[in-house]
Structure 1
């Protein structure tokens, strides 16, 4: 009886294994056939097929095929894959090609392309240096809420240069926008400029944004406002708590303040 059960189990197991193998072969075959269909469709310039193939080969880490279909997708006006091409050319310092595809993406309406063009024009990479044109692109990019462009504009106007006059009001404006859009160090730089006009309430509002988003530089600055009673009611306990948050977050100057003023 035991032998019959063993034979039966063996037969069932063997049958299941065969079925599993057959199903696996079918799946692999279907996958291969679907890839073939996508490739044929891509050859006919069906952009969605090219984009799917690009992602398939990116996921499989098949670099040569991924590169081919990324390029093809971009040629068929995929902003997403043009952006990937631009990133590759920038990594490889192939600025001529980076400029060509950034301009293409800009013409397609991709919002981050203006930031890339601005940096290329500002530094004269892949194109003749043109600071005025770079500034135009930075401003367009900042208006599209690309925070890096806002931050760069803040720095340019804060320091000035041979080509651009120093302008604290514009610097404050752009740092404030980059703070609101996620570059939280700029909350402090903007607050410092509001300090010059003694608008401490606005300064506090900005560093509070940074601190709430775990920017410990901002927390330390917020502590200073509470310690001195600038823009807020003076509160030494609140100031200490903010310095502790900043210190625990790795902002060493806050640790020094705690040792010096809150022993």
Structure 2
């Protein structure tokens, strides 16, 4: 059947049939990818977050679909489709997703476990969180590589209350879980940049300029600064295109 998507009734019919197809593919054919699409359909089209959550959870547990573990973890973390936030349950599902080699699940698990201050929502476990972040970076998640670089730039103190960003000399005497290491920070920043993280590129530029973790090189500093700028421009353009989609451009 051909649909005229300029007509409201055709759009409604198309979306209803799409939902029927996803339900058949998920419940009858038991295809994990289609079950995930069904969850996305319930989320984006029907705005039924509680049903979407059930689909994501089932697809994670029954069919071992990592992206669905991630989605359900996100729902639990922000309290979507439920009465309240459940960060401990969120971590459990991020870990499940990471075990299924979903890099963003690994990233979210790592950030939860290493967060401090008001952002801390679960019991801090830096070594475990580091391993999740490393796995995410190894699976080419740019943000995870950038996050790891930041951990090595400042170090990760055992007791965060002892760390004073305004007194570097005092910080030398505190106990670190991860000691500051400029070479490691540079390597992770460079990898994050190569994977497309503009903040990592900016850090690589600064490190080349200062000679932090790498030999000073003004040409390389300039080159990475330009890469960061180009990534920023590309991101801004993408945002602009998305914003203008559907607008009437009649003059």
Which category of TM-score, normalised to the shorter sequence, fits these structures? 0.5 to 0.7
What TM-score results when the alignment is normalised by the length of structure 2? 0.65
Superimposed CA distance per residue, residues 139-190 of structure 1 (whole angstroms, 9 cap, x where no aligned partner): 1112323222222223322235564134544454433333333432332221
Q: Tell me how far apart the structure 2 counterparts of residues 120 and 213 of structure 1 sit (CA, whole Å).
A: 27
Q: Secondary structure in 1 aligned to 2:115? A: helix
How many residue pairs end up in the alignment? 192
Q: 1:214 to 1:73 in 2, by over 3 A?
A: closer
Corresponding position of 2:49:
95
What TM-score results when the alignment is normalised by the length of structure 1? 0.63
Q: Structure 1 stretch 142-151 or stretch 166-175: which is displaced more?
A: 166-175
Q: 1:234 to 1:164 in 2, by over 3 A?
A: same
Corresponding position of 1:261:
none
Corresponding position of 2:199:
217
CA contact (8 A) 1:216 1:250 kept: yes
Higher relative contact order (CA 8 A, sep 6+): 2
Superimposed CA distance per residue, residues 33-87 of structure 1 (whole angstroms, 9 cap, x where no aligned partner): xxxxxxxxxxxxxxxxxxxxxxxxxxxx833333222212211112122111100
Query: Cα RMSD over matched residues?
Result: 2.7
Higher-Rg structure is 1
Q: CA deviation at 1:105?
A: 1.3
Q: CA deviation at 1:132?
A: 2.1
CA contact (8 A) 1:188 1:221 kept: no
Q: CA deviation at 1:122?
A: 2.5
Q: 1:193 to 1:86 in 2, by over 3 A?
A: same
- Of 26, 32, 50, the residue aligned with 1:74 is 26
CA contact (8 A) 1:226 1:236 kept: yes
CA contact (8 A) 1:185 1:217 kept: no
Q: CA deviation at 1:193?
A: 0.5
CA contact (8 A) 1:158 1:171 kept: no
Unaligned runs of 5+ in 1: 1-30, 32-60, 252-263
Q: CA deviation at 1:245?
A: 2.5
CA contact (8 A) 2:146 2:197 kept: no
Q: 1:150 to 1:239 in 2, by over 3 A?
A: same
- Once superposed, which parts of structure 1, at least 4 consecutive aligned residues long, lie more than 6 Å away? none
Q: Secondary structure in 1 aligned to 2:232? A: coil
Q: Structure 1 stretch 61-70 or stretch 238-247: which is displaced more?
A: 61-70
Unaligned runs of 5+ in 2: 2-12, 156-178, 234-251
1:159 aligns with 2:159: no
Q: Tell me how far apart the structure 1 counterparts of residues 35 and 92 of structure 2 sit (CA, whole Å).
A: 22
Corresponding position of 1:230:
212
Higher fraction of helix: 1
Task: State how 1:87-236 maps to structure 2 within 5 Å.
Answer: 87-91=40-44, 92-106=46-60, 107-127=62-82, 129-156=85-112, 157-159=114-116, 161=119, 163-195=121-153, 196=155, 197-236=179-218
Q: CA deviation at 1:118?
A: 1.5
Corresponding position of 1:49:
none
Q: Tell me how far apart the structure 2 counterparts of residues 98 and 178 of structure 1 sit (CA, whole Å).
A: 26
CA contact (8 A) 1:180 1:209 kept: no
